[in-house]
Amino acid sequence: MFAVVLSGGGNYGALEAGALEVFLEAGVRPGLWAGTSAGGLNAILMASDPTVHGTRVLQDYWRKVRPVPQGGASVFTATRRFATGMESLFPNEPVAAFIKSHLPAGCQTFGDVYRRTRQRAFALAVEYPGNAPRVFGEQREDRLLDGAMATSALPPYFPPWAVGSLRYVDGAVAANLPLRVAVEYGADEILAMNIEGDIIQIEGSGIINISGFALRAMIQQLTENQLEWARHEGVRVHFLKLDAGPVRSWDFTQADGLIERGRQLARTFLADRNGKIPQGATWNYRLRRLFGGVARPKAWK
């Protein structure tokens, strides 16, 4: 099965929306979508409408995203929340309301999406404080809103997202580019889009800069681990680096520029490969699967 895997990246998620338009226009038709954080949200929305029109709806979503949605916390409130020891700088209710208003009409669960489009979507989060990865979408009755909110609950900005008695934080803690999730659910060829921007490329001294360096190092290592694991398994991975260029991570007014940059990067990527995506599973992977060297895809609960 051919899959698209999308990394996290905050407001840079608009890059993926632009790139996806080009790939779908070129005839790329995945059967599975997986992502983390912004990529997890993009995966959910694309699985619900896996068409060129769907990419344009996704682009409109990113044009509306703002750092603090209308009715959200002000800078003063964020400072007060920090000073009083609360779990996050901002509450998650305004974000949840914004995301809920953009989820596909008539679809509340991942199972609903599959029944409508025959597309599987997965969004990675991590249990807090248990540290266990949680793949939203592995159960038909997982709610889309829970998957979108849990995968993007990035500390310290937003608190863990509660689902029943458990709480979850941003999946980038485990894998910002969740290739393994896609493979474990049946992918044998992957188009992987990895966002790079100043959200993880901070240099200099001071608490923020040093923290940014540590975050960058962690995410890069986790991504390398995912890529190495996929190579070891013999999975064909088409790796597209989505460089945000000069746009800053806090600038939410540049969605159109990011969308167009995503388009340009995708066009170059396809041209370098003569438009030949997908190419099919590698012979190594096919032989391993034939002789029982590949685990059976996980069952949908």
Residue 104 lies in a domain: yes
pLDDT at 292: 87
How many domains, the chain?
Answer: 1
Distance CA 171, CA 26 (A): 30
DSSP, res 100: H
pLDDT at 206: 63
Residue 295 lies in a domain: no
pLDDT at 198: 66
Residue 297 lies in a domain: no
Residue 209 lies in a domain: yes
Q: What Rg, from alpha-carbon coordinates, does the chain have?
A: 18
Strand 32-36 with 2-6, pairing: parallel
- In CATH, what number is assigned to the domain containing residue 110? 3.40.1090.10
Query: Which tens digit of pLDDT belongs to each residue from 184-233?
Result: 999 999 999 999 876 544 555 666 566 667 777 888 899 999 999 999 99
* Residue 263 structural domain: 2-290
Number of Cβ within a 10 Å radius of residue 196: 20
Q: What DSSP string describes 119-161?
A: -EEEEEEEEETT--EEEETSSTT-BHHHHHHHHT--TTTSPPE
Residue 66 lies in a domain: yes
Distance CA 50, CA 142 (A): 20
* Confidence check: pLDDT of 73 > 60: no
* Confidence check: pLDDT of 81 > 60: no
